[in-house]
Amino acid sequence: MAVQEKLPLEILVKLSELNTLEDGLLHLERFNKSLADKLFKNLSKMIEKRSFDYVNRYVKTDMEIASIIFDRKRKIRWAGINGNNYISYFQ
């Protein structure tokens, strides 16, 4: 996703060296907060879609799958489209 957003090579290299998504998030936020938000919102949406596709490979269902991404301090950082419907349960 970072490559698709055409981030500078030095940022891409640094991201590839980090151990966790959260480390990547913090690094991206220092570089460009709005871009970090955009990337992680897209990641949340992708988690929902891929999870739904995976479940439907085995069982055809209209089950709603939601994603909410927390940081290590248990703070909600991002949510997918469906995840936004459930955030209030975690606050």
Q: What is the pLDDT of residues 5-25, one digit of tens each?
A: 778 888 888 989 999 888 888
Asked whether the predicted pLDDT for residue 3 surpasses 80, the reply is: no
Task: Name the strand (E) or helix (H) holding 20.
Answer: none
Instruction: Give the domain ranges of the chain.
Output: 9-90
Q: What is the pLDDT of residues 26-65, one digit of tens each?
A: 898 998 999 888 888 888 999 999 999 999 999 999 889 9
- 59, 68, 71, 84 from 40: Cα distances, Å: 28, 10, 12, 14
SS3 state of residue 83: helix
Instruction: State how far the Cα of 59 lies from the Cα of 28, in Å rounded to an integer.
Output: 37
Residue 70, CA atoms < 13 Å, CB-side half-sphere = 7
DSSP type of residue 47: H
